Amino acid sequence: MIQKWQYFESNLILSERESQIIIGTLLGTSSIVFPEKSKNPHLLMRSIKKNPTWIRCKAFELKKLSRPKSFIEDKYYYRWNSSSTELFKKYYNIFYNKGSKQISFDLLESLKPLSIASWFLDKGFIDEHECGFKLNYYEKSLENILDFFKLLDIPLFKKNNYYIFKEKNNVISFFNIIKNHIPVEIKKNILRHLEF
């Protein structure tokens, strides 16, 4: 039996803001889930329990896509599931090839500051010493991502299992792109590491 959350109005249109948040979070820790027996896919977002602010912000921004009881909690994570909708077929086709997530350079070139900010808040890190991304993509996707940041003149360099902006001026250049798109609740914790 099809549950209520699996139905969705066909005339729903996403705003540019909603679309950019979805793209950013799909570059990060979120997934499009397309079960074999389902007519339409849904968006799954996840967050470790010790830091739930960002997933709450995203869920608020995407509330018109929410299913009833969209949040699920387990021992370590919060998960948020959207309703199933045909809208997510587009994102599935952009991000997935034979079930594996792949990041094209064309997609990266289309990013706006909001989507880059969403991506950073999912997969980025900053502390007193370093700033960068936790990137665990397949080789071609990783190559495209590194080329994209080179194109922005803020290259990333591998350090252990992370990719960092080596110089403080590159960190500042990066945050000048995204700082106006970081929620206030999160921004104060980030900005204390930077001098603008």
Which of these, 96, 152, 165, 160, lies nearest to 124 by C-alpha position?
165
- Distance CA(46)–CA(49), nearest Å, equals 9
Q: What is the pLDDT of residue 193?
A: 65
> Is the pLDDT score of 82 beyond 90?
yes
Label residue 196 by pLDDT band (50, 70, 90). very low
105-191 CATH, one of 3.10.28.10, 3.40.50.1100, 3.30.428.10, 2.60.40.10: 3.10.28.10
Tokens for 137, please give them: 């993509």
> What are 170-194's pLDDT values in tens digits?
999 999 999 999 998 888 777 766 6
The pLDDT value given to residue 33: 93
CA angle centred on 130, ends 128 and 134, rounded to 5°: 130
pLDDT of residue 30: 96
Q: ∠ CA 88-93-97 to the nearest 5 degrees?
A: 135
Is 7-96's fold the same as 105-191's?
A: yes
Q: In the structure, what pLDDT confidence band is assigned to residue 103 with cuts at 50, 70 and 90? A: very high
Domain residue ranges of the chain, discontinuous segments joined by +: 7-96, 105-191
CB atoms within 10 A of CB 41: 22
Confidence of residue 12 (pLDDT cuts 50, 70, 90): confident
CATH 3.40.50.970 given to domain 7-96: no
Q: What pLDDT, on the 0 to 100 scale, is given for residue 128?
A: 79
Rounded Cα distance between 162 and 113, Å, is 22
How high is the pLDDT of residue 144?
96
For position 99, what pLDDT does the model report?
A: 82
> What local confidence, expressed as pLDDT, does residue 195 receive?
57
Q: What pLDDT does 187 receive?
A: 81
Res. 118: pLDDT tops 50: yes
| Closest to 23 (Cα-Cα) out of 85, 78, 103 | 103
What mean pLDDT, rounded, does the chain reach? 88
